[in-house]
Amino acid sequence: MEINREFYSGNTRKITDSNSNMIVEFISNSLYTDITATPTKYIGKEWDKSASPWKINYKSEFFNLDYMLGYNAGYEEPVTVAQSKFFKERKKGYTFYLSSNGGNSFSGAHSRLFPVWLATLSRSDINLSDTVTNNWVNDKYKELHPVINFDYSKIFAVPFLQIKNEGNRVLFSESLRANFDPTNYSGWGVGFVYKNGVNNIDLAMEIVSLNNTFLTPDWLTTNCFSSEEFDNGLSITTYDVSSATVRNVAQLGERMQYSGNTGTYFDPNDFASTDIAGIMQYYPNRMIYINGTENPIYNNVYYGGFISNNMRPFRRTFASGVTFDDLAEYIAKEMAYIGFRFLVDCSQINQPIDSEYYYIPEINSAGVTTGNYYTADSAEAAQLPNNDWTTDVYSVTPYDGTDDDEDEDPNDYDDSNTTVLNPIPIDWSNDFQNYYVMSTVDVQRVAAYLYSELPTNQPANDFLTNNPIDCVVSLMLFPFEVSRDPDYPNPIVYFGKVKGYYPDTQIELIAKGYIRGQVQEIDCGECVYYPEYGVNDFRSYEPYCDAELILPYCGSVKLSPTAIYCKTTEQNFHKIGVKYIVDLITGACIACVYLDSLLIDTVNGQIGMTIPITGIKSADMDRDITYKQAAAKTAQNTALSSLASAVVGTVNGFISAGMSPNPINIGGAALNAVTSALSYDSAEENYKTKVYDLQHIQVPFSVRGSASPLCDFRNEQFPRLLIKRPVMLDYTPEVYAHSVGYACLKTGVIKEYGAAEGETPQYIECTGIDFSGFGGTEIEKARLKACLEGGLYL
């Protein structure tokens, strides 16, 4: 199963399988910020539980942790220092007690809690408690082997503090101690104020985050420290090495015992408070007793002691005969995986941490260690985010745009500087109406058609409205050739469902085509302006120079002369281009101003001119005629009928009168005749009215569209770039230059701006002179300054 090591800021280390399931998450003890620990007496092989063993304050977030892994250096095996049982027993609050496996006691004098990882398991099928039986070979836990089996005892890296004074001079280096005063925390979360008041601390152990500290279990101070840089009266206690009572020197985490197995571990109280170095001793060519045995296991061991001229690098010879040198690469890589900065030569501990003696691990931008490492003075190391002690690795350095800003410009510029217009998402053309492209002649034919009578064989409702004119939506004139749909050349012009035709010849009305899409782009071209005075002359820029773009149908737009011509070493001039985007349905347009390929400005306008089109409502007219014809006919019939009645009535009346000798009856008959005659007259009058109506039918016209002004059509039909630039008064440049010089802002040596030997001196004014080495009085200095600023000929 592939193991992925990840090291995050906040000092969390995860091990995941190839499916990114977290197996184990380690959190270094460096999250402890408040550490107190009280040593206890070591009795026999157990801590005196009545005295507090390691008491570590930790953050409440860790209550959920299941295990704490440590490494008991007294045993060549990892130990679950705290088990779930233990954690259940822990007190709520901020303390818990370390215990070794199986109980609440250490089996070693000092459990090597460095590095201490708090582990939490995220997979239920892995139970670290199984490891109590040291069943590490179990395939189930194989993925943990690289971590758990890591031989921390063979770590030759030395965690230490390097304390410097104000002059950045290293006073001493020392491993982190468990019993330092927590009230003096400062800096990286490790507050260590040396009692002499030194409080600038460089935390020399690489931890890829801030505010970390390491808990080191040992009362053993580092085996390496400086004896050369002591200041402030520090001293080191030395011991008589010839004494039979030999104090063993142990590597970090090593158990140490007095020979003779008194059971008393070394007690820091043995040392003076000024003895910050503790028990560092150098035993050249001496035997080292380890593990309290009489028989030295290790022979000819070099160990770190005072970093002095007698210093030797530490090297451990394993019983198996494998030397450190063989493991160096392995160890270094594992250290790099963990994320430690490390030394391999303890004698160099006092070297600057960015020197060749230190190695720093590679951590990529995601905070993941790669296992690679570099000497701290290498170019590769300089690029690493964890290279700088004092900088929060994961902080973002604000980019301030200065030339020496090491951060890249974070702005995500468009390198192409090109505007790409969107394709039109909606095109209503030719969906609900027909949009015909027509010439003038075509339009005239349409007009003729619209004035013609309704064809007798054409139902009115085929027009979809009442009249052909009502089918016309709009007529618009464009001052350019409208793009046509190539799929439909020469379309017949339809009004509703009715083909238009030419009235005289009945030939179908044909258009040039359909419009090709609702929007058309017109490229008007481009130009380049080369300023008269050049790009390095102030007269080419505002406010001395103005530029304006005149855009037909849209108006005008101001341009900055700076935008028109750019000032580069290649004297590259911009092109000013104009494109129109026209809506062929509404006639609206947008003039787009381009600087090379980049759209820099737009102006709205109206380019399509509405043409009013009129026509007869021929159907209405026909209907009107028909109705009035019918009405006249009816009126006529009525009149004739009345006349007949009147004539008959009159005859009847007179006949009656003739046959009667009664003259009175004759009057009655006459009256009847008159009445009949009157009836006829009324009908005839009505008839005449109807005929009049028929003869005076008003032709029903309809007008489509209102006229829009064609004034812009009279304007110039191309854009113009208008440049307004200054005019010079009459002057002689050479005289001007010699009298007052040209304004500039250069830095240089004064005499280089003067004339060559033998030539006429040239005018110069200057300022900002450094009067170092001036041998005159203050008055002379002021006068000279005035002379230089006032001008001289050189």
Partner 1 sequence: MQITIYINTADSRVANKSGHLTTIASLSGRPTEADSIITPQIIVDWKPQYNRVNYAYIVDFGKYYFIKDIVVKSGGQAILYLDADDRYNWYDYYKNKTVIITRSEKIGAPTEIPDSKLPIDPNRHELLTLPILKNGAPAFAQTINQCDYVLATVGNIKETVQPNE
Q: Which among 332, 277, 278, 321 has a CA at the least distance from the CA of 298? A: 321
Give the residue, chosen from 396, 420, 711, 743, that forms a contact with partner 1 under the rule CB under 8 A: 743
Angstrom distance (rounded) from CA 732 to CA 748? 27
Locus of tokens 């139970």: 127
Of 321 and 768, which CB lies nearer to partner 1 in the complex structure?
Answer: 768
Separation CA 35–CA 59 (nearest Å): 11
C-alpha angle 162/164/165, rounded to 5°? 165
Binding mask 49-78 for partner 1 (x = CB under 8 A): ------------------------------
- Pairing between β-strand 77-82 and β-strand 498-499 as defined by DSSP bridges: unpaired
Say if residues 362 and 379 touch (Cβ distance below 8 Å): no
Those residues whose C-beta lies under 8 Å from the C-beta of residue 39, and which sit 6 or more positions away, are 179, 219, 265, 267, 268
Nearer to partner 1, 75 or 541 (CB): 541
Q: Which of 17, 275, 442, 601 binds partner 1 (CB under 8 A)?
A: 442
Which of 95, 127, 378, 465 is the binder for partner 1 (CB under 8 A)? 465
**Full DSSP string of 289-332:** --TT-SS-SB-S-B---EESTT----B-B-TTS-BHHHHHHHHH
Residue 368 binds partner 1, judged by CB under 8 A: no
Of 70 and 719, the one with the shorter C-beta distance to partner 1 is 719
- Among 431, 648, 659, 678, the residue binding partner 1 under the rule CB under 8 A is 431
Closer residue to partner 1 (CB): 23 or 591: 591
* 736: contact with partner 1 by CB under 8 A: yes
* Residue 19 DSSP symbol: T
Q: Does 721 bind partner 1 (CB under 8 A)?
A: yes
Helix (H) or strand (E) holding 715: none
Which residue lies nearer to partner 1 by CB, 145 or 720?
720
Q: How far is the CB of 757 from partner 1 (least distance, A)?
A: 10
Nearest distance in Å: CB 235, partner 1: 54
Q: Which of 366, 396, 664, 728 binds partner 1 (CB under 8 A)?
A: 728
Site for partner 1, residues 478 to 497, rule: CB under 8 A: 478-482, 488-497
* Distance from the Cα of residue 579 to its chain's centroid: 31
Q: Does 476 sit near partner 1 (CB under 8 A)?
A: yes
767 forms part of the interface with partner 1 (CB under 8 A): yes
User: Is residue 438 a contact point for partner 1 (CB under 8 A)?
Assistant: yes
Q: Is 419 in the site for partner 1 (CB under 8 A)?
A: no
Q: Which CB atom, from 270 or from 481, has the smaller least distance to partner 1?
A: 481
**Considering only 230-238, 259-267, 660-668, 719-727, which stretch makes contact with partner 1 by CB under 8 A?**
719-727
Residue 466 CB coordination number (10 Å): 17
**Distance in angstroms (rounded) separating the CA atoms of residues 550 and 722:** 7
Give the one residue of 389, 544, 654, 701 binding partner 1; rule: CB under 8 A.
Answer: 544
What is the torsion angle, in degrees rounded to the nearest 10, for the CA atoms of residue 411, residue 413, residue 415 and residue 419? 180
Q: What number of chain residues touch partner 1 (CB under 8 A)?
A: 131
Give ∠ CA 751-756-761 in degrees, rounded to 5: 75
Q: Does 464 bind partner 1 (CB under 8 A)?
A: yes
Q: Tell which one of 3, 611, 643, 677 touches partner 1 (CB under 8 A).
A: 611
Give backbone dihedrals phi and psi of 252, rounded to 5 degrees, phi first.
-55, 130
| Least separation in angstroms between CB 443 and partner 1 | 5
Restricting to residues 500-529, which ones interact with partner 1 according to CB under 8 A?
Answer: 508, 510-512, 514-515, 522-527, 529
Binder among 217, 367, 552, 649 for partner 1 (CB under 8 A): 552
Q: Which residues of 594-604 are buried (b: 16+ CB within 10 A; e: fewer)?
A: bbbeeebbebe
784 binds partner 1 (CB under 8 A): yes
Q: Smallest Cα–Cα separation from 608: which of 549, 554, 551, 550?
A: 554
Report whether 563 contacts 595 (CB < 8 A): yes
**703 lies in the binding site for partner 1 (CB under 8 A):** no
CB 425 to partner 1: min, Å = 21
Under the binding rule (CB under 8 A), the answer on residue 428 touching partner 1 is no
Angle at which helix 663-695 crosses helix 618-659, to 10 degrees, equals: 170
In the complex with partner 1, which residue's Cβ is closer, 640 or 755? Answer: 755
- Scanning 112-120, 257-265, 670-678, 762-770 for contacts with partner 1 by CB under 8 A, the matching segment is 762-770
Residue in 215, 519, 578, 603 binding partner 1, rule: CB under 8 A: 578
Binding to partner 1 (CB under 8 A) within 234-293 occurs at: none
751 binds partner 1 (CB under 8 A): yes
Give the Cα separation of 587 and 440 in Å (integer): 18
Residue 588 binds partner 1 (CB under 8 A): no
Shortest CA distance to 481 belongs to which of 447, 441, 458, 512? 512
Between 89 and 481, name the residue whose CB sits nearer to partner 1.
Answer: 481
Q: Is 755 in the site for partner 1 (CB under 8 A)?
A: yes
Interaction of residue 779 with partner 1, rule CB under 8 A: yes
Query: Does residue 769 touch partner 1 according to CB under 8 A?
Result: yes
Structure tokens at 747: 């830095």
Supply 675's token pair: 């009445």
Q: Does 379 bind partner 1 (CB under 8 A)?
A: no
CA-CA distance, 653 to 642, in Å (whole number)? 16
Residue 477 vs 666, nearer CB to partner 1: 477
Burial of 84 (0-12, 13-18, 19+ CB in 10 A): middle
Q: Which residues contact 350 (CB under 8 A, 6 or more apart)?
A: 162, 170, 173, 224, 225, 226, 228, 229, 307
Where in 183-202 is the site for partner 1 (CB under 8 A)? none
- Distance (Å, rounded) from C-alpha 568 to C-alpha 559? 19
Instruction: Kindly provide the b/e burial profile for residues 658-678, where b requires at least 16 CB atoms within 10 angstroms of the residue's own CB.
Output: eeeeeeeebeebeebbeebbe
Considering the complex, state which of residue 27 and residue 589 has its C-beta at the smaller distance from partner 1.
589
Q: Which is nearer to partner 1, 85 or 783 (CB)?
A: 783
> Alpha helices of 660-698 — where are they, by DSSP H?
663-695
Q: Is the peptide bond before 543 cis (omega within 30 degrees of 0)?
A: yes
Yes or no: say if 616 and 451 are a contact pair by the CB < 8 Å rule. Answer: yes
CB burial of residue 49 (10 Å; 0-12, 13-18, 19+): middle
539 binds partner 1 (CB under 8 A): yes
**Contact pick of 472, 616, 646, 657 for partner 1 (by CB under 8 A):** 472
300-305-309 Cα angle (round to 5): 95
What burial letters (b/e) apply to 541-559, b meaning 16+ CB within 10 Å? beeebbbebbbbbbeebeb
Q: Which stretch binds partner 1 (CB under 8 A): 245-253, 324-332, 358-366, 539-547?
A: 539-547
Taking the complex as a whole, the smallest distance from the CB of residue 699 to partner 1 amounts, in Å, to 22
* Residue 764 near partner 1 by CB under 8 A: yes
Nearer to partner 1, 666 or 755 (CB): 755
Q: Does 434 bind partner 1 (CB under 8 A)?
A: yes
Residue of 360, 585, 616, 619 interacting with partner 1 (CB under 8 A): 585
Among 3, 297, 443, 666, binds partner 1 (CB under 8 A): 443
Residue 678 C-beta: closest distance to partner 1, Å: 55
Q: Which is nearer to partner 1, 159 or 561 (CB)?
A: 561
**Min CB(730)–partner 1 separation in Å:** 8
Q: Does 605 bind partner 1 (CB under 8 A)?
A: no
Nearer to partner 1, 393 or 515 (CB): 515
Q: Residue 327, interface with partner 1 (CB under 8 A)?
A: no
